[in-house]
Structure 1
Amino acid sequence: MFQAPSVFTRAPLPPATPESEPRREQTPKATAPASAPASAAAGKRDPYFDNVKYLAIVLVAVAHAWEPVMDGSRATRALYMIVYTFHMPAFILISGYFSRTFDMSAPKVKRLLTGAVVPYILFETAYSLFRRYVDDAPDTPISLTDPLYLTWFLIALFIWRITTPIWLTLRHPLAVALTIAVLASVTPGIGDDLDLQRVLQFLPFFVIGLLMKPEHFRLVRRREVRLLALPLFAGALLFAYWIAPHTQLSWFYRASSAQERGAPWWSGLVLALGLLVCGLILTIGFLALVPGRRTWFTALGAGTICGYLLHGFLIKGAVYTGLFDRHTWLADPVGLVVVTGVTAVAVTLMCSPPVRRALKFATEPDMHWAFRKDPKSPESPKEQRGQQDPENRKALVKH
């Protein structure tokens, strides 16, 4: 699922199952957290969007923790399907919403490079080395063109955001994005580079976010919508429980075409559109249920990029060291509750301010030395004071 790299205002911001054959390892690629939701106008963070990001990253981590132990539980598999239907669309939609002002200006390009590209390079390398030595897989390559596990969202975010001016220029951007997504689902020749299948198949949610306005979120958060969201998820869970034993989970990952899954090409068209509609409906339900007030976990929304990038080491470490194989009771109902609770607590700690500060060098690096100074950008007060001549400074002091 859940992001994810972050669209960052500095907050931002799968073992493949038998049905899905990943390219670099035997797990479905992870999902990631959404981008940062700070209010650009007032410079203040909106607690609602921080709540969205925190709750979404918890769902992402918990769903990843279910993967190694859910095969014996139909209910857990159904819950997994529900989460994977909406948590990435929610992340991507929010990322699109906060990309509306991206205009290729120097400051925003710098922020994109340091907030998405640099973390992608660092964590793609880190996860490759982690698998190589912890999983005893010496042939694991370090490839920046084939994202490993949860790093795919960072490079996808870079591609989506860098194309934002194109989508904002088109007369009918959503229709174009839908066409691209559906065609991608039946085009096996796209290949594995930069996980373009996912980039293209999830693209409509990013474009929807670009087209959204604040009043749309106010509409989603109305009491009537919240009341409808509860039976919506209850019905979705019953339906998922019914179809769970007969459903290929690879459809939810959007990482390959219908032909690569061994299905007829036309099924890609039908299921791609179906998942897009279901993902949007459940995303609306999720956004409606998130509290808009400040809560105990609101401050953790600023650190979801850390929770996203770090929780993979915890889960993959447990898989690589055989923890789930040695303790088979974790697949029992009590074990699933334990796995869920431990994962939720762990990812909460990973989003905490101390962890965010410790990881700032990788997720929010200060790389002013790598960029040219923009002559149009205003100088800092310190620089302005330094350039004033002594006589002017004396005059200022006198007055």
Structure 2
Amino acid sequence: MEKTLVKQGETYFLNLRFVLILTVFIGNAIEPLIRQMDGMHALYLWIFTFHMPLFVFVTGYFAKGGLRGAKGRNTLLQIGLQYIIFQSLYSFLDLTFFQLQNIHHSFFAPYLLLWFLASHVGWRLLTLGMHKLSPAVQITLSLILGVLVGYLRLDGAWLSFSRTFVYLPFFVIGYHFSFPTFVQFFTKQKKKIAAAASALLFIIIALWGLRMPEGWLFGSMTYLQLGHQEWYAGLYRIALYGLQLISGAAFLAWVPFRESQLTDLGRRTLYVFLLHGFIIRLAAMSGLYSYIHHPAAALLLIAGAILLTIALAQPVVRKIAHPVIEPPVTWIIRLERFALGRPL
């Protein structure tokens, strides 16, 4: 029974991971339209109330059993290589193919979506540092740190420092998440209520929430950068945590429990995440958005984002891009042993 629940948990979270990468691609695809179409603006804000918190939550869940020891070290090394490779690739294309001006390229300033890799390293190290504390204390402490980081007088985007602490609670919650308890609690009736709440939140945002400050949803800026110097600015982040927890929990109702093609696609979401930025940049530079003035065209754009998400999650993409997306780290370990005079 326990093995069955473990398998069901893996299936559910793989399904969730693919649904989330769909929302990531859609959110990035429609961003240039949010100032001219209220519907796209509402969809964008709704997505941002849950998609990154849940993505970090899923990342924490799959970190179970792989945070310490050789496996944990190898994962950190691989994330570091991924960051170096894609930070270099995106910067190189900006300077050559896209010829973009006035963009600061630095390994200390994660390029667009690459903040997630920099923060992932931080989440793992911080969770390791708190391993002697109880789960409840870890979650409480991470929430406090997420609120306090906003008061620091620094550039929150530097090495994704702000997002690392802002999203840390979701990683810690995911790491300690009990799927058997979730299954017992999340009955069919509660699932229906949660789905209705998720849909209701979208309606509320569409009707009254379009003036919501987007900067708060990104988690990348300090309170000063967001235009708030009040001593109580942290209360806004606490309120935002409440919104994200409600929106994220409600969205879970849309995710199927059964194993399907969705589950298999969920095994390759890393490929979608790291590669879709090239497509988004190409679409922006091609002038595509100058032709989108009607909701029907925007819906076609969303359909295209869905199809491209599925395409990038195909096994053939993994076969081709595997050396870059999941670079081997054994050579680093051998180099380390050689430098220290240890046997290879």
TM-score norm. by structure 2 comes to 0.89
Contact 1:57 1:304 in 2 (8 A): yes
Among candidates 152, 155, 158, match of residue 118 of structure 2: 155
Q: Report the equivalent of 1:165.
A: 128
One-letter amino acid of the structure 2 residue matched with residue 64 of structure 1 = N
Among candidates 74, 78, 86, match of residue 123 of structure 1: 86
One-letter amino acid of the structure 1 residue matched with residue 37 of structure 2 = S
Comparing both chains, which one has the higher relative contact order based on Cα–Cα distances under 8 Å and sequence gaps of 6 or more? 2
Task: Please show how residues 123-202 of structure 1 align to structure 2 within 5 Å.
Answer: 123-137=86-100, 140-171=103-134, 172-189=137-154, 191-202=156-167
Structure 2 CA distance for aligned equivalents of residues 346 and 42 of structure 1: 30
Give the Å deviation of 1:323: 2.2
Bigger share in helix: 2
Contact 1:225 1:285 in 2 (8 A): no
Among candidates 312, 333, 337, match of residue 371 of structure 1: 333
Structure 2 CA distance for aligned equivalents of residues 349 and 65 of structure 1: 16
Per-residue CA deviations over 1:280-305 (Å, capped at 9, x if unaligned) read 12211222321111223221111100
Change (3 A) 1:342 1:301: same
Q: Report the equivalent of 1:274.
A: 239
Higher Rg:
1
Give the Å deviation of 1:141: 4.8
Give the Å deviation of 1:43: 9.0
Contact 1:135 1:320 in 2 (8 A): yes
Change (3 A) 1:44 1:370: farther
Change (3 A) 1:289 1:43: closer
Contact 1:84 1:252 in 2 (8 A): yes
Among candidates 210, 230, 238, match of residue 195 of structure 2: 230
Per-residue CA deviations over 1:138-177 (Å, capped at 9, x if unaligned) read 6645421110101110111111112222222124111111
Contact 1:232 1:285 in 2 (8 A): yes
User: Does 2:26 match 1:59?
Assistant: no
Per-residue CA deviations over 1:363-392 (Å, capped at 9, x if unaligned) read 2222322214999xxxxxxxxxxxxxxxxx
Task: Please show how residues 307-386 of structure 1 align to structure 2 within 5 Å.
Answer: 307-325=272-290, 327=291, 330-372=292-334
One-letter amino acid of the structure 2 residue matched with residue 74 of structure 1 = D
Q: Report the equivalent of 1:97.
A: 61
Give the Å deviation of 1:129: 1.4
Of the structure 1 ranges 196-205 and 163-172, higher mean CA displacement relative to structure 2 is found in: 163-172
Of the structure 1 ranges 76-85 and 265-274, higher mean CA displacement relative to structure 2 is found in: 265-274
Could you tell me which runs of 5 or more consecutive residues in structure 2 were left unpaired when the two chains were aligned.
338-344
Structure 2 CA distance for aligned equivalents of residues 254 and 333 of structure 1: 29
Structure 2 CA distance for aligned equivalents of residues 268 and 220 of structure 1: 34
Contact 1:306 1:351 in 2 (8 A): yes
Among candidates 50, 54, 60, match of residue 14 of structure 2: 50
Structure 2 CA distance for aligned equivalents of residues 200 and 42 of structure 1: 29
Q: Report the equivalent of 2:271.
A: 306
Could you tell me which runs of 5 or more consecutive residues in structure 1 were left unpaired when the two chains were aligned.
1-38, 376-399
Change (3 A) 1:140 1:117: same
Structure 2 CA distance for aligned equivalents of residues 242 and 304 of structure 1: 33
Q: Report the equivalent of 1:260.
A: 225
Of the structure 1 ranges 129-138 and 62-71, higher mean CA displacement relative to structure 2 is found in: 129-138
Q: Report the equivalent of 2:342.
A: none
TM-score norm. by structure 1 comes to 0.77
One-letter amino acid of the structure 1 residue matched with residue 29 of structure 2 = A
Structure 2 CA distance for aligned equivalents of residues 214 and 144 of structure 1: 37
Secondary structure in structure 1 of the residue aligned to 2:23? helix
Change (3 A) 1:219 1:186: farther
One-letter amino acid of the structure 2 residue matched with residue 119 of structure 1 = Q
Change (3 A) 1:79 1:226: same
Change (3 A) 1:59 1:209: same
Secondary structure in structure 1 of the residue aligned to 2:131? helix
Matched-pair identity in %: 26
RMSD: 2.5
Per-residue CA deviations over 1:27-63 (Å, capped at 9, x if unaligned) read xxxxxxxxxxxx9x98999322221111110110001
Per-residue CA deviations over 1:318-343 (Å, capped at 9, x if unaligned) read 11232213x1xx13111110110011
Contact 2:195 2:251 in 1 (8 A): no
